[in-house]
Copies of this chain bind each other. A is one copy, B any other.
Amino acid sequence: MSFKITILGSSGAVPAFGRFPSSQLVEIQNEFMLVDCGEGAQIQLLKFNGNLQRINHIFISHLHGDHYLGLMGLLFSMHLNHRTKELHLYSHRGLQDIIITQLKYSNSALRFRLLFHELTPGIQETILDSKHFTVETIPLKHKLDCSGFLFREKIKPRRIDKDKIPADISLAQLAALKTGSDIMDDHGKIKYKNESLTLPPRKSRSYAYCSDTIYDIDLINIVQQVDVLYHEATFMTQDEDKASETKHSTAAQAARIAKEAQVGKLIIGHFSARYKELDLLWQEARSILATTELALEGTTFEIHE
């Protein structure tokens, strides 16, 4: 089953060199979600063959323009393309007011319901508990109330070992085996040990999104051993004072967090407009963590089972 992150934009606050502001399409087992929705996100979605009507959840980390200004246009396009399915929006306080104000002046009533979920600043909370995965917030320290998002697949069923399964097993027993139960005989004794007929579950994958944030070692525990961590890397070490001043991180700092947390892969993004070429940022992070990748627009990172 799919677990993919597609980068729609990874520019810092000011778009530059053709780079669009922050937005990502996250797909987990056919559930499509947006993480941040910077200006032009819908244009990027079209460009990279994303189907905007399949998106049912949009997570906005904070209300700086480069993280949400593409949302209103996306909503209008969903409406004009006849969407009727409700849409969940997760954000710190203010997004509802911003959207309602704009709907009012455009004299528009959307064809679909918006369900607003207000995030609680400074704490880690579960905001979506879906059949196959959960989404939790990650408290981030920035100039504004800001949260990252942690996507985690739930523990998966044990897999039936087709080579070993006896012919007399019923469907109910198969279901029980998947949950880890043994199969009992009529006298209440173990007939088949679960492990003799099943294989371990496929691994539960995880993705953490951290933008925007200061260098914050509290994150290490929260993102411990995730398969993929996106961590902002607005600046290089040579501009570390600028990073502190604007409450952002450097590429080296992002890599240090990722390394300490023993993540599988690090993606860096939210690049400042001062850097035309990104290779030096990449090198800076890779010198600390070799599995670092750049959040280049159109790139899809797939997490395999």
Q: Which residues of A contact B (CB under 8 A)?
A: 13-16, 18, 20-21, 39-40, 42-43, 46-47, 63-66, 69-70, 72-73, 76-77, 80-81, 93-95, 97-98, 101-102, 104-107, 143-144
CA distance A101 to B46 in the complex (A): 29
CA distance A101 to B72 in the complex (A): 14
In the assembled complex, how far is the CB of residue A302 from the closest CB belonging to chain B, in whole angstroms? 26
Determine which residue in A39, A46, A93 has the highest number of CB atoms from chain B within 10 A of its CB, and name it.
A39
List residues of chain B with CB within 8 A of the CB of A43: 15, 18, 20, 39-40
CA distance A90 to B40 in the complex (A): 23
In the assembled complex, how far is the CB of residue A242 from the closest CB belonging to chain B, in whole angstroms? 13
In the assembled complex, how far is the CB of residue A61 from the closest CB belonging to chain B, in whole angstroms? 13
Q: Contact: A106 with B15, CB < 8 Å? A: no
List residues of chain B with CB within 8 A of the CB of A80: 13-14
Q: Specify the chain B residue showing the minimal Cβ separation from A62.
A: B106
CA distance A70 to B81 in the complex (A): 21
List residues of chain B with CB within 8 A of the CB of A21: 73
In the assembled complex, how far is the CB of residue A143 from the closest CB belonging to chain B, in whole angstroms? 7
Q: Given the interface contacts A13-B76, A40-B39, does A105 sit within 8 Å of B101 by beta carbon?
A: no
CA distance A14 to B45 in the complex (A): 13
Q: Contact: B77 with A73, CB < 8 Å? A: no
Q: Contact: A143 with B107, CB < 8 Å? A: yes
* 8 pairs, A vs B, C-beta closer than 8 Å: A39-B42, A39-B43, A40-B40, A65-B76, A66-B73, A95-B105, A98-B101, A101-B101
Q: Contact: A76 with B72, CB < 8 Å? A: no
In the assembled complex, how far is the CB of residue A89 from the closest CB belonging to chain B, in whole angstroms? 14
Q: Given the interface contacts A18-B47, A43-B20, A143-B107, does A69 sit within 8 Å of B73 by beta carbon?
A: yes
Q: Specify the chain B residue showing the minimal Cβ separation from A21.
A: B73
List residues of chain B with CB within 8 A of the CB of A95: 105
Q: Contact: B66 with A16, CB < 8 Å? A: no
List residues of chain B with CB within 8 A of the CB of A70: 39
Determine which residue in A16, A40, A64 has the highest number of CB atoms from chain B within 10 A of its CB, and name it.
A40
A42 touches which of B15, B72, B107, B144 (Cβ 8 Å):
B15
Q: Contact: A94 with B105, CB < 8 Å? A: yes
In the assembled complex, how far is the CB of residue A110 from the closest CB belonging to chain B, in whole angstroms? 12
List residues of chain B with CB within 8 A of the CB of A16: 46
List residues of chain B with CB within 8 A of the CB of A77: 13-15
List residues of chain B with CB within 8 A of the CB of A94: 104-105
A65 touches which of B40, B102, B104 (Cβ 8 Å):
B102
Q: Specify the chain B residue showing the minimal Cβ separation from A143.
A: B107
Which 4 pairs across A and B sit closest by C-beta, in order of nearness?
A94-B105, A39-B73, A65-B76, A63-B105
